[in-house]
Structure 1
Amino acid sequence: MTGIENVTLQQVIVHKVGNPSRNEELKFSANALTLNDDVVSAMLTKYFLSPFNENEHYHFTHLSDLSMNEVYTYVTNIFEDSKSFNEESIKIASFLYSKSTHVKVKEGELYVAVFDNVMLGNETHKAVGLFKSETKETFLKVFPHGQSWEVIQDEGIDINKLDKGCLIFNTNQNEGYTVCVVDKTNKQNDTRYWITDFLQVEPTANDYHNTDQYLGLCKLFIDNEYAEKFDVSKSDQVDLMNRSMEYFKTKDQFNMQEFAEEVIHHPEVVDTFMEYKQQYQKSRNFEIEDEFDISLSAVKKQDKNFKSVIKLDKNFHLYIHGRKDLMEKGYDEMVGKKFYKLYYEEES
């Protein structure tokens, strides 16, 4: 997230949230942290906010009525009355505790915080943050002992690794606020309690979301379905991956029909892709539009996942950026090994 240095951390309180299925406790703090150390406040602000992608938005939901979403209601009360901060933070911790029953959910500290002057687009907003620290790091502490120094082992939090986070901006309240989410642990479907059970948020279908999800869909399709259902080589997969990314890098708008004609080409592959897209959307419980403006931020994020590499045993890696017609693949019976033949004009 950008502009962190201008953010004001106004309030923070910490509660201990265990897993009730293991008889771990829920412990409340009586008071918020005393924020009279500017260095500590700056470190906390960086720890809380730096992992967020401000372009990737979610919003609170509920099957029947948005006001029945617990976290949405507690956060709204904090926005409307700052004096309710401690009371509402206890409600938030209690609700998280009730949703932490899966065997893989770890005990940890829940931080509830209030920020001001948080950047969203070209505007700044007040925001409420919910953060959970589950992973402890071992470190060595050096301290003086008489005329010497001693070293002991201790455990603490790595301020560069936020496990779980949710940042709620005080905007678009009627639509479930604008929300950013981090979930670095328990990513399996059966343990995504932070997003689905606790927060009950869904992605906001903006240009960033559509671009990001379509590229993710293409990557999974090429890696799995395309390779499994069609007689294609690794170089064919890389070629389709390159053409897909090139489309998103060079176009301003996405159009599914145009993408199918210019990138996928073959009708039977297009049909299989559309079937895979339906399964992809159903499994994630959201839809991706077939026409939208392409987000360059989402393209940049996904670009690093589109690795155009063919790994040959443990000896060679071929990085392919285009011109599949300048490659030949064969088998040398004399040597008893497969080979690639590459045509080029000059080397550097």
Structure 2
Amino acid sequence: MLDMSKAQMAQLVVHRVGNKQREEGIVIAPGLYDMTDGQVEQLLLKYFFSSFKEKVLYKFFHEADIHLHELYMYVSRIFINPAVFYEQSVHILKHLYEKSGHPQIKGGEFYVAYFSDCLVEGKTVDAVGLFKTENKENYLKVSQRSQGMSLLADRGINVKKLDKGALIFNIESVDGYRVAIVDTVNRENSEAAYWKDEFLRLTDVQNDYFHTQNHLNLCRDFAESVYGSLYQADKKDQVMFVNEAVAYFDQNQSFDLDDFTQAVVKEPELIERFKEHKVMYELNQGLATVASFAISDQAVKTTKRKLKNLIKLDTDIEIKIKPAAAEQDAGGYIERGYDEAKGMHFYKVYFNEEE
């Protein structure tokens, strides 16, 4: 979906942005960065691109009219005429400063870059990159002199750890372009929203990747909020239900609601509850109801890593049921019961050999 291996950096400017609440201001670069050192350029490309692990794409969004979205307009002018790149980079810098009012937002270098030969959704396009450095690390530089080795302490950027980034691709311009992002701030922190929601103002692109990820999350939500609470399914049955749903997505190239419910949900009454829950879930998420779509293998892999297949017990013991267990009908290998003598619940696990 996204391949930057052949991307070339045509233009670059390095500004500095501070925290607006602390009145730290901005530092505007006097002009474009002179890219004459090939080694530095390669390090910058590694720094800019290596953190884009997720394959999720977003798009610019405005409630009334996309042409009222400031960043969308600045980037559009660059794509139309790359000669105005520097001028528009200053507008983007000032826009970022206006959105940097949270007291915990750190100042740092702000890079604006123009790339060519970017591969996204099977098309080779140009892209505008926005990157911000917020954290620096201590390092030692060792050099050899006539009197021996010399050590110098300094602070610098770890090129493997991009703090914030956005790649805006010149594709689907009428629909708000396609945007990939990086934000290493913990999502629980209150300042985390400013990069994606306030500065970039993005919304989801509802493609196959999105639908696959969303429906796997729907299955987990159904297992916890309906299957578990209303049908008194224990934690083992909830985990097995989610694992069986994951197995369906692993083994099929497309999702069909009726086929899925017959294969995974099975019981007629539970099927009706699943379909009702799906409608309410999509309504609460502000999504259009989708009954079929092509399954994204990448989305399945990404979501599987995030799904917790653990049965956590209050005795500090955890039982992990892997997704592959759903394919082996492993529900018959684990039983839940209650020991009246101890007054405690228990799980009984069957196996042939220890590994």
Do the two structures share a fold, i.e. TM-score over 0.5?
yes
Cα distance between partner residues in 1 of 2:350 and 2:242 = 21
- The residue aligned with 1:211 is 212
Alignment of 1:134-145 (within 5 A): 134-144=134-144
- The residue aligned with 1:90 is 90
Matched, 1:185 2:185: yes
Going from structure 1 to structure 2, the CA distance change for 1:228 and 1:159 (only over 3 Å counts) comes to: farther
Q: Is contact 2:107–2:134 with CA below 8 Å preserved after alignment? A: yes
- The residue aligned with 1:201 is 202
- The residue aligned with 1:271 is 273
Cα distance between partner residues in 1 of 2:146 and 2:256 = 73
Render the CA deviation track for 1:269-311: whole Å, top value 9, x for unaligned. 863784476356635x544623211111111111212343335
Q: Is contact 1:219–1:241 with CA below 8 Å preserved after alignment? A: yes
Cα distance between partner residues in 2 of 1:261 and 1:91 = 54
- How far does residue 196 in structure 1 lie from its aligned partner after superposition? 1.8
- The residue aligned with 2:115 is 115
TM-score relative to the length of structure 2: 0.85
Matched, 1:325 2:332: yes
User: How many pairs does the alignment contain?
Assistant: 347
Tell me which amino acid in the other structure corresponds to 2:284: K
Cα distance between partner residues in 1 of 2:299 and 2:261 = 20
Cα distance between partner residues in 1 of 2:351 and 2:53 = 40
Q: RMSD of the alignment, in Å?
A: 2.9
| Segment drifting more, 88-97 vs 62-71 | 62-71
Tell me which amino acid in the other structure corresponds to 2:256: N
| Segment drifting more, 24-33 vs 143-152 | 143-152
- How far does residue 103 in structure 1 lie from its aligned partner after superposition? 2.7
| Segment drifting more, 44-53 vs 128-137 | 44-53
Going from structure 1 to structure 2, the CA distance change for 1:43 and 1:226 (only over 3 Å counts) comes to: farther
**Sequence identity, in percent?**
35
Cα distance between partner residues in 2 of 1:76 and 1:103 = 31
- How far does residue 116 in structure 1 lie from its aligned partner after superposition? 0.8
Render the CA deviation track for 1:219-266: whole Å, top value 9, x for unaligned. 344456654555332211211111110121122222334434432345
Alignment of 1:1-348 (within 5 A): 3-52=3-52, 55-144=55-144, 147-185=147-185, 187-188=187-188, 190-191=190-191, 192-223=193-224, 226-228=227-229, 230-265=231-266, 267=269, 271=273, 274-275=276-277, 278=280, 282=284, 285-287=286-288, 289-311=290-312, 313-314=315-316, 317-320=319-322, 321-322=325-326, 323-332=330-339, 338-345=345-352
Going from structure 1 to structure 2, the CA distance change for 1:296 and 1:272 (only over 3 Å counts) comes to: closer
| Segment drifting more, 263-272 vs 86-95 | 263-272
- How far does residue 95 in structure 1 lie from its aligned partner after superposition? 0.4
Cα distance between partner residues in 1 of 2:166 and 2:187 = 15
Cα distance between partner residues in 2 of 1:197 and 1:17 = 16
Cα distance between partner residues in 2 of 1:248 and 1:74 = 40
- How far does residue 83 in structure 1 lie from its aligned partner after superposition? 2.0
Q: Is contact 1:163–1:183 with CA below 8 Å preserved after alignment? A: yes
Going from structure 1 to structure 2, the CA distance change for 1:119 and 1:229 (only over 3 Å counts) comes to: same
Alignment partner of 2:218: what SS? helix
- How far does residue 62 in structure 1 lie from its aligned partner after superposition? 1.7
Q: Is contact 1:8–1:115 with CA below 8 Å preserved after alignment? A: yes
- How far does residue 208 in structure 1 lie from its aligned partner after superposition? 0.9
- How far does residue 209 in structure 1 lie from its aligned partner after superposition? 0.9
Render the CA deviation track for 1:46-82: whole Å, top value 9, x for unaligned. 2212333584222222222222211111111112222
| Segment drifting more, 90-99 vs 190-199 | 190-199
TM-score relative to the length of structure 1: 0.87
| Segment drifting more, 188-197 vs 115-124 | 188-197
Going from structure 1 to structure 2, the CA distance change for 1:85 and 1:341 (only over 3 Å counts) comes to: same
| Segment drifting more, 177-186 vs 66-75 | 177-186
Cα distance between partner residues in 2 of 1:130 and 1:331 = 57
Tell me which amino acid in the other structure corresponds to 1:195: K
